[in-house]
């Protein structure tokens, strides 16, 4: 091998991973923190764009929130408005599902639709990137499913898909059976898990339940006040999980774990490879993750399901990136 080829290989090995972030940020939630973590890790990830999907909040609200966070971080990354509702699931259906732990955007009526550009932008980006793109999907999978429906050939251009969603061996957090992102749009999650995307990595509740956000961690972040930690203080102190209202409250790191994986994958201490599918029959198990021993559809790829974490390691990374003083 000549020196030029060797050098090109070394540069490629060290260059940041080119990613698209598909997200549903509320006013300042785990999605926003995942954005902060990625923006503040330029040696690991280069963000080509951000797309908003309906989930925690309706998509126009999420897009505005992502823009606000990026502006605070001094970034002019493009933010595209994506799917404004799931493929099939509706607010009216969710109201027939009995008591839910969390209904996200379905708690309020959907605002009027606006022009969506996210799916078009994702397709264009996947087409033009010669080495493909990594997708960090931390909301319901509607946008990703719509890309795959329109252009199944582009599955091959997804270098890896890192998902926050699903619950393989543990109960749900939206309904008893289902995790919120999969529950909000089960049909989309099913399309994605049945696709031929070469590498799927899942941060579901199995691993997220192990990384508990305590008041002590919260206090250690808000001790250092910056424009970002002020937003964090208001949101996590007064909103969910509400550390100011209840000192014993706890939350979890969800989207932050998926983002952390792109920055320091060594915090994952146990995983397994399984085929997965999603329950799409409307009823109490709507949106549940189904582990399988065989592919759910011809050509479906298996998923690396993350199961356990070095909690101190990932919490230290979370705290360090959140409390950084420069953007
Ligand atoms: O279940 C956790 C997921 O739903 C996260 O993506 C979070 O943002 C929430 O709403
Ligand atoms: Ca999210």
Of 258, 296, 289, the closest CA to residue 166 belongs to 289
Q: Report if residue 47 sits inside a domain.
A: yes
Residue 153's Cβ-side half-sphere holds a number of Cα atoms within 13 Å equal to 3
Q: How confident is the model over 16-32, as a mean pLDDT?
A: 97
Q: Which residues contact 298 (CB under 8 A, 6 or more apart)?
A: none
Q: Is residue 326 part of a domain?
A: no
Q: What does the pLDDT look like over 79-102, one tens digit per residue? A: 999 999 999 999 999 999 988 999
Is 317 contained in some domain? Answer: no
3-class DSSP assignment, residue 170: coil
Q: Which residue has the higher pLDDT, 156 or 11?
A: 156
Residue 233 located in a structural domain: no
Strands 303-309 and 268-278: antiparallel
Is 46 contained in some domain? yes
Q: Taking CB atoms and a 6 Å cutoff, what residues make up the pocket around ligand 1?
A: 29-31, 56, 104, 138-139, 164, 173, 179-181, 254-255
Q: How far apart are CA 33 and CA 28, in angstroms?
A: 8
* Residue 216 included in any domain: no
Measured CA angle at 50 (ends 184, 209), to 5 deg: 45
Mapped onto helix, strand or coil, the DSSP state of residue 16 is coil
Q: Is residue 75 in some structural domain?
A: yes
Residue 257 falls inside a structural domain: yes
Q: What is the mean pLDDT of residues 193-201?
A: 98
Ligand 1: which residue has its CA nearest to atom 1? 180
Q: Report the CATH number at residue 129.
A: 3.90.245.10
Domain region containing 74: 3-211+253-309
pLDDT of 59 above 60 = yes
Whether pLDDT at 11 is above 90: no
Tell me the longest C-alpha to C-alpha distance in the chain.
66
Q: Of all residues in the chain, what percent carry a pLDDT higher than 70?
A: 95
Question: What's the mean per-residue pLDDT of the chain?
Answer: 95
Residue 303 has pLDDT above 60, yes or no: yes
Q: Is 312 helix (H, G, I), strand (E, B) or coil?
A: helix
Closest residue by Cα to residue 306 from 278, 249, 265: 265
Q: Is the dihedral of CA 22, 24, 25, 30 positive or negative?
A: negative
Q: Over the stretch 135-144, which tens digit does the pLDDT of each residue have?
A: 999 999 999 9
Which residue has its alpha carbon closest to ligand 1 atom 4?
180
Confidence of residue 1 (pLDDT cuts 50, 70, 90): very low
Look at the chain and report how many structural domains it folds into.
1
Mutate to test the pocket of ligand 1, among 21, 55, 182 (most ligand atoms within 8 A of CB): 55
Pairing of strands 303-309, 17-23: unpaired
Is it the case that residue 212 has pLDDT exceeding 60? yes
Confidence tier at 305 by pLDDT (50, 70, 90): very high
Q: Which atom of ligand 1 is nearest to the CA of 102?
A: 10
Task: Centre a 10 Å sphere on the Cβ of residue 70 and count the other Cβ atoms it contains.
Answer: 21
pLDDT value for 2: 54
**Of residues 10 and 26, which shows the higher confidence score?**
26
**Tens-digit pLDDT profile for residues 238-280:** 999 999 999 899 999 999 999 999 999 999 999 999 999 999 9
pTM above 0.85, yes or no: yes
- Which string of b and e fits 197-230 if b means at least 16 CB within 10 Å? beebbbbbbbbbebbebbbebbeebbeeebebbe
Q: What spacing in Å lies between the alpha carbon of 140 and ligand 2's midpoint?
A: 7
Q: Is the pLDDT of residue 3 over 90?
A: no
Among 178, 116, 114, CA closest to 147: 116
Instruction: Quote the ligand 2 centre to 181 CA distance (angstroms).
Output: 7
């Amino acid at each position: 091998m000549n020196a030029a080829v060797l050098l090109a290989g070394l540069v490629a090995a060290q260059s940041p991973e080119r990613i698209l972030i598909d997200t549903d940020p509320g006013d300042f939630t785990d999605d926003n923190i995942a954005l902060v973590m990625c923006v503040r890790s330029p040696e690991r990830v280069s963000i080509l764009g951000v797309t908003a999907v309906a989930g925690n909040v309706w998509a126009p609200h999420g897009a505005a929130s992502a823009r606000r966070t990026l502006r605070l971080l001094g970034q002019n990354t493009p933010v595209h408005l994506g799917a404004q509702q799931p493929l099939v699931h509706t607010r009216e259906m969710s109201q027939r599902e009995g008591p839910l732990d969390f209904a996200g955007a379905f708690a309020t009526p959907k605002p009027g639709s606006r022009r969506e550009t996210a799916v078009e932008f994702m397709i264009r980006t996947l087409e033009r990137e010669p080495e493909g793109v990594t997708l960090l999907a931390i909301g319901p999978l509607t946008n990703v499913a719509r890309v795959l429906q329109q252009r199944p050939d582009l599955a091959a251009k997804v270098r890896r898909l890192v998902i926050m969603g699903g619950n393989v061996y543990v109960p749900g957090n939206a309904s008893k059976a289902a995790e919120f992102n999969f529950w909000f749009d089960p049909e989309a999650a099913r399309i994605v898990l049945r696709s031929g995307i070469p590498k799927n990595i899942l941060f579901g509740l199995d691993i997220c339940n192990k990384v508990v956000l305590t008041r002590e961690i919260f206090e250690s972040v808000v001790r250092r006040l910056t424009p970002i930690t002020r937003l964090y203080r208001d949101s996590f102190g007064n909103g969910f999980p509400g550390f100011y209202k209840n000192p014993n409250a706890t939350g979890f790191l969800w989207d932050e774990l998926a983002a952390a994986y792109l920055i320091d994958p060594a915090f994952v201490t146990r995983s397994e490879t399984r085929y997965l599918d999603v329950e799409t029959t409307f009823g109490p198990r709507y949106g549940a993750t189904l582990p399988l021993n065989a592919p759910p559809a011809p050509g479906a790829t298996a998923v690396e399901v993350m199961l356990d974490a070095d909690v101190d390691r990932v919490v230290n990374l979370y705290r360090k990136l959140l409390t950084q003083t420069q953007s």
